[in-house]
Amino acid sequence: MANELLVIFLVVSYLFVSGITSRNFTIENKCDYTVWPAASNGPGGISLSTTGFMLRKGEARVINAPFSWTGRFWGRTFCSTNSTGSFSCATGDCGTGKADCGGAGVSLLPATLAEFSLDISGKDYYDVSVVDGYNLPILVVPQGDKTCSSTGCVVDMNVTCPFELRVTANTSMIACMNACQKLKLPEYCCTGNYSTPDKCKPSLYSQNFKSVCPRAYSYTYDDASSTFSCASNKSNYAITFCPSTILNTTK
Protein backbone atom coordinates (compact mmCIF):
# COMPACT_ATOMS: atom_id res chain seq x y z
CA MET A 1 0.00 0.00 0.00
CA ALA A 2 2.81 2.41 0.90
CA ASN A 3 4.47 1.81 -2.47
CA GLU A 4 1.17 2.41 -4.29
CA LEU A 5 0.63 5.69 -2.45
CA LEU A 6 4.19 6.72 -3.30
CA VAL A 7 3.59 6.05 -7.00
CA ILE A 8 0.35 8.07 -6.94
CA PHE A 9 2.12 10.94 -5.18
CA LEU A 10 4.94 10.94 -7.73
CA VAL A 11 2.52 10.91 -10.68
CA VAL A 12 0.48 13.78 -9.26
CA SER A 13 3.65 15.71 -8.48
CA TYR A 14 4.92 15.17 -12.01
CA LEU A 15 1.69 16.42 -13.54
CA PHE A 16 1.76 19.49 -11.32
CA VAL A 17 5.39 20.35 -11.96
CA SER A 18 5.11 19.63 -15.68
CA GLY A 19 2.19 22.02 -16.06
CA ILE A 20 -0.03 19.32 -17.56
CA THR A 21 -2.93 20.39 -15.36
CA SER A 22 -5.51 21.95 -17.70
CA ARG A 23 -8.83 23.76 -17.87
CA ASN A 24 -11.92 22.98 -19.89
CA PHE A 25 -13.84 25.42 -22.06
CA THR A 26 -17.23 24.02 -23.10
CA ILE A 27 -18.39 25.86 -26.21
CA GLU A 28 -22.05 25.49 -27.15
CA ASN A 29 -24.06 26.84 -30.08
CA LYS A 30 -27.67 27.70 -29.31
CA CYS A 31 -28.05 29.92 -32.37
CA ASP A 32 -30.55 29.00 -35.08
CA TYR A 33 -27.64 28.78 -37.51
CA THR A 34 -24.16 27.28 -37.74
CA VAL A 35 -21.34 29.10 -35.94
CA TRP A 36 -17.61 28.54 -36.48
CA PRO A 37 -15.90 29.20 -33.10
CA ALA A 38 -12.31 30.42 -33.17
CA ALA A 39 -9.59 31.02 -30.58
CA SER A 40 -6.27 32.82 -30.35
CA ASN A 41 -3.75 32.91 -27.52
CA GLY A 42 -2.03 35.94 -26.05
CA PRO A 43 1.56 36.95 -26.96
CA GLY A 44 3.97 34.16 -26.15
CA GLY A 45 1.17 31.88 -25.02
CA ILE A 46 0.47 28.27 -25.88
CA SER A 47 -1.90 27.60 -28.78
CA LEU A 48 -4.88 25.37 -28.13
CA SER A 49 -5.23 21.99 -29.83
CA THR A 50 -7.79 23.52 -32.18
CA THR A 51 -8.26 27.18 -33.01
CA GLY A 52 -11.24 26.94 -35.32
CA PHE A 53 -14.06 24.50 -36.06
CA MET A 54 -17.73 24.21 -36.95
CA LEU A 55 -20.63 23.95 -34.49
CA ARG A 56 -24.09 23.29 -35.86
CA LYS A 57 -27.19 24.40 -34.00
CA GLY A 58 -27.41 22.58 -30.66
CA GLU A 59 -23.87 21.17 -30.76
CA ALA A 60 -21.20 21.61 -28.08
CA ARG A 61 -17.49 20.88 -27.87
CA VAL A 62 -14.98 20.81 -25.00
CA ILE A 63 -11.61 22.51 -25.56
CA ASN A 64 -8.70 21.93 -23.17
CA ALA A 65 -6.41 24.82 -22.30
CA PRO A 66 -3.28 25.07 -20.12
CA PHE A 67 -4.00 25.93 -16.50
CA SER A 68 -2.36 29.33 -17.01
CA TRP A 69 -3.63 30.52 -20.39
CA THR A 70 -4.37 33.90 -21.91
CA GLY A 71 -6.46 34.27 -25.02
CA ARG A 72 -9.84 34.87 -26.54
CA PHE A 73 -12.72 33.02 -28.17
CA TRP A 74 -15.22 34.33 -30.70
CA GLY A 75 -17.78 33.07 -33.17
CA ARG A 76 -17.60 33.40 -36.95
CA THR A 77 -20.80 33.63 -38.96
CA PHE A 78 -21.95 33.19 -42.55
CA CYS A 79 -18.94 31.07 -43.49
CA SER A 80 -18.41 29.17 -46.72
CA THR A 81 -15.80 27.55 -48.93
CA ASN A 82 -15.38 28.87 -52.48
CA SER A 83 -14.66 26.96 -55.66
CA THR A 84 -10.90 27.03 -55.03
CA GLY A 85 -11.26 25.57 -51.52
CA SER A 86 -10.63 28.80 -49.63
CA PHE A 87 -12.68 29.18 -46.45
CA SER A 88 -13.96 32.60 -45.32
CA CYS A 89 -16.60 34.17 -43.06
CA ALA A 90 -18.65 37.36 -43.31
CA THR A 91 -17.93 38.22 -39.65
CA GLY A 92 -15.05 37.25 -37.37
CA ASP A 93 -12.90 35.81 -40.15
CA CYS A 94 -9.27 35.10 -39.20
CA GLY A 95 -7.86 35.34 -42.72
CA THR A 96 -6.21 31.92 -42.96
CA GLY A 97 -8.47 30.56 -45.70
CA LYS A 98 -9.19 27.57 -43.47
CA ALA A 99 -11.68 26.66 -40.74
CA ASP A 100 -8.78 26.41 -38.27
CA CYS A 101 -7.31 29.84 -37.57
CA GLY A 102 -3.86 28.49 -36.71
CA GLY A 103 -3.59 30.90 -33.81
CA ALA A 104 -4.41 33.98 -35.91
CA GLY A 105 -6.65 36.64 -34.42
CA VAL A 106 -9.69 38.33 -35.91
CA SER A 107 -8.88 39.86 -39.30
CA LEU A 108 -12.44 40.83 -40.24
CA LEU A 109 -14.31 42.73 -37.57
CA PRO A 110 -16.79 43.14 -36.02
CA ALA A 111 -16.80 40.25 -33.57
CA THR A 112 -18.02 39.74 -30.01
CA LEU A 113 -15.05 38.50 -27.96
CA ALA A 114 -14.79 36.35 -24.82
CA GLU A 115 -11.39 37.13 -23.26
CA PHE A 116 -9.52 35.19 -20.57
CA SER A 117 -6.37 35.57 -18.47
CA LEU A 118 -6.11 32.46 -16.31
CA ASP A 119 -4.13 32.05 -13.09
CA ILE A 120 -2.85 35.59 -12.68
CA SER A 121 -1.63 35.79 -9.06
CA GLY A 122 -4.09 33.05 -8.12
CA LYS A 123 -7.07 34.45 -9.99
CA ASP A 124 -8.73 34.13 -13.39
CA TYR A 125 -9.83 37.30 -15.14
CA TYR A 126 -12.42 37.24 -17.91
CA ASP A 127 -14.74 39.51 -19.86
CA VAL A 128 -16.96 39.73 -22.90
CA SER A 129 -16.08 42.65 -25.17
CA VAL A 130 -17.89 44.60 -27.89
CA VAL A 131 -14.99 47.05 -28.20
CA ASP A 132 -14.28 45.40 -31.56
CA GLY A 133 -17.95 45.42 -32.47
CA TYR A 134 -20.70 42.82 -32.18
CA ASN A 135 -21.71 39.90 -34.35
CA LEU A 136 -23.61 37.51 -32.06
CA PRO A 137 -24.64 37.11 -28.40
CA ILE A 138 -22.17 35.39 -26.04
CA LEU A 139 -22.53 34.22 -22.44
CA VAL A 140 -19.60 33.15 -20.24
CA VAL A 141 -20.42 31.06 -17.15
CA PRO A 142 -17.74 29.88 -14.68
CA GLN A 143 -18.24 26.25 -13.66
CA GLY A 144 -17.15 24.83 -10.33
CA ASP A 145 -17.33 27.92 -8.14
CA LYS A 146 -20.82 29.29 -7.50
CA THR A 147 -19.44 32.54 -6.09
CA CYS A 148 -18.11 33.56 -9.53
CA SER A 149 -20.21 35.81 -11.75
CA SER A 150 -21.43 35.17 -15.26
CA THR A 151 -20.92 37.82 -17.91
CA GLY A 152 -21.76 38.41 -21.52
CA CYS A 153 -23.77 40.25 -24.10
CA VAL A 154 -26.92 38.17 -24.37
CA VAL A 155 -29.15 40.34 -26.54
CA ASP A 156 -29.40 40.89 -30.29
CA MET A 157 -27.49 44.15 -30.49
CA ASN A 158 -28.18 44.32 -34.23
CA VAL A 159 -31.69 45.49 -33.34
CA THR A 160 -30.42 48.60 -31.55
CA CYS A 161 -27.35 49.23 -33.74
CA PRO A 162 -27.15 52.81 -35.06
CA PHE A 163 -27.75 52.96 -38.80
CA GLU A 164 -24.24 54.23 -39.59
CA LEU A 165 -22.63 51.28 -37.75
CA ARG A 166 -24.65 48.49 -39.33
CA VAL A 167 -23.05 45.70 -41.35
CA THR A 168 -25.32 44.11 -43.93
CA ALA A 169 -25.16 41.23 -46.37
CA ASN A 170 -27.83 40.83 -49.04
CA THR A 171 -29.83 43.57 -47.26
CA SER A 172 -29.84 41.61 -43.97
CA MET A 173 -28.23 42.93 -40.76
CA ILE A 174 -25.38 40.62 -39.74
CA ALA A 175 -23.29 42.69 -37.30
CA CYS A 176 -22.76 46.05 -35.61
CA MET A 177 -19.46 47.94 -35.89
CA ASN A 178 -17.76 49.82 -33.11
CA ALA A 179 -17.56 53.59 -33.64
CA CYS A 180 -13.75 53.45 -33.72
CA GLN A 181 -13.77 50.98 -36.62
CA LYS A 182 -16.26 52.99 -38.62
CA LEU A 183 -15.39 56.63 -37.89
CA LYS A 184 -11.68 56.19 -37.03
CA LEU A 185 -11.59 59.26 -34.80
CA PRO A 186 -9.22 59.40 -31.78
CA GLU A 187 -12.01 60.23 -29.33
CA TYR A 188 -13.72 56.96 -30.26
CA CYS A 189 -10.50 54.91 -30.46
CA CYS A 190 -8.85 56.32 -27.28
CA THR A 191 -5.72 57.25 -29.23
CA GLY A 192 -3.59 60.38 -29.63
CA ASN A 193 -4.73 63.13 -27.27
CA TYR A 194 -7.47 60.77 -26.03
CA SER A 195 -5.17 57.90 -24.99
CA THR A 196 -5.73 58.15 -21.22
CA PRO A 197 -8.80 57.32 -19.10
CA ASP A 198 -9.34 60.94 -18.07
CA LYS A 199 -9.36 62.07 -21.71
CA CYS A 200 -11.25 59.20 -23.37
CA LYS A 201 -14.79 59.06 -22.04
CA PRO A 202 -17.74 56.88 -23.11
CA SER A 203 -19.23 58.18 -26.35
CA LEU A 204 -22.90 58.13 -27.25
CA TYR A 205 -22.14 55.03 -29.31
CA SER A 206 -20.45 53.13 -26.47
CA GLN A 207 -23.23 54.23 -24.10
CA ASN A 208 -25.72 52.67 -26.51
CA PHE A 209 -23.73 49.42 -26.39
CA LYS A 210 -23.58 49.62 -22.59
CA SER A 211 -27.31 50.18 -22.20
CA VAL A 212 -28.18 46.92 -23.93
CA CYS A 213 -25.17 44.91 -22.68
CA PRO A 214 -24.32 46.41 -19.26
CA ARG A 215 -21.76 43.73 -18.33
CA ALA A 216 -19.80 43.80 -21.58
CA TYR A 217 -16.78 45.97 -22.36
CA SER A 218 -18.15 48.88 -24.38
CA TYR A 219 -14.99 50.98 -24.87
CA THR A 220 -11.27 50.80 -24.07
CA TYR A 221 -11.40 52.01 -20.44
CA ASP A 222 -14.55 50.20 -19.38
CA ASP A 223 -12.66 48.05 -16.83
CA ALA A 224 -14.56 48.79 -13.62
CA SER A 225 -17.91 47.35 -14.67
CA SER A 226 -16.81 44.77 -17.20
CA THR A 227 -13.86 42.73 -15.85
CA PHE A 228 -14.66 39.74 -13.64
CA SER A 229 -12.43 37.47 -11.56
CA CYS A 230 -12.61 33.98 -10.11
CA ALA A 231 -10.32 31.78 -7.99
CA SER A 232 -8.02 30.07 -10.49
CA ASN A 233 -8.01 26.66 -8.80
CA LYS A 234 -11.74 26.04 -9.06
CA SER A 235 -13.29 26.94 -12.39
CA ASN A 236 -13.75 25.69 -15.89
CA TYR A 237 -15.81 27.86 -18.23
CA ALA A 238 -18.86 27.47 -20.47
CA ILE A 239 -19.13 29.76 -23.50
CA THR A 240 -22.54 29.84 -25.16
CA PHE A 241 -23.43 31.52 -28.43
CA CYS A 242 -27.01 32.87 -28.58
CA PRO A 243 -27.86 31.90 -24.98
CA SER A 244 -31.37 31.99 -23.57
CA THR A 245 -30.02 32.44 -20.02
CA ILE A 246 -30.66 35.71 -18.18
CA LEU A 247 -27.53 36.98 -16.46
CA ASN A 248 -27.37 36.92 -12.67
CA THR A 249 -26.64 40.55 -11.82
CA THR A 250 -26.87 40.16 -8.05
CA LYS A 251 -23.24 39.05 -7.58
Q: For residue 146, give the 3-state DSSP assignment.
A: coil
Question: Does residue 8 sit within a domain?
Answer: no
**Does residue 92 form part of some domain?**
yes
Residue 13 located in a structural domain: no
Interatomic CA distance for residues 232 and 120, integer angstroms: 8
- Residue 139 has a pLDDT of 97
CB 52 within 8 A of CB 39: yes
What is the spatial distance between Cα 165 and Cα 178, in angstroms, rounded to a whole number? 7
pLDDT digits (tens, 9 = 90+) for 216-237: 999 999 988 899 999 887 789 9
Specify the pLDDT at position 224.
86
Q: Is residue 200 included in any domain, yes or no? A: yes
Asked if residue 2 is part of any domain, the answer here is: no
Supply the pTM of this predicted model: 0.87
Count of structural domains, the chain? 1
Mean pLDDT over 119-129 rounds to: 94
Other beta carbons less than 10 A from residue 19's beta carbon = 11
**CATH number, residue 126:** 2.60.110.10
Looking only at the bridges linking them, the beta strands covering 123-129 and 228-231 are: antiparallel
Query: Could you list the residue range(s) of the whole structural domain that residue 213 is in?
Result: 23-241
pLDDT, one tens digit per residue, over 173-216 is: 999 999 998 999 999 999 999 999 999 999 999 998 999 999 99
Domain membership of residue 9 (yes or no) is no
Q: Annotate 59-92 with b (16+ C-beta within 10 A) or e (fewer).
A: eeeebebbebbbbbbbbbbbbeeeeeeebbbbbb
Per residue in 156-176, pLDDT (tens digit) is 998 889 999 999 988 889 999
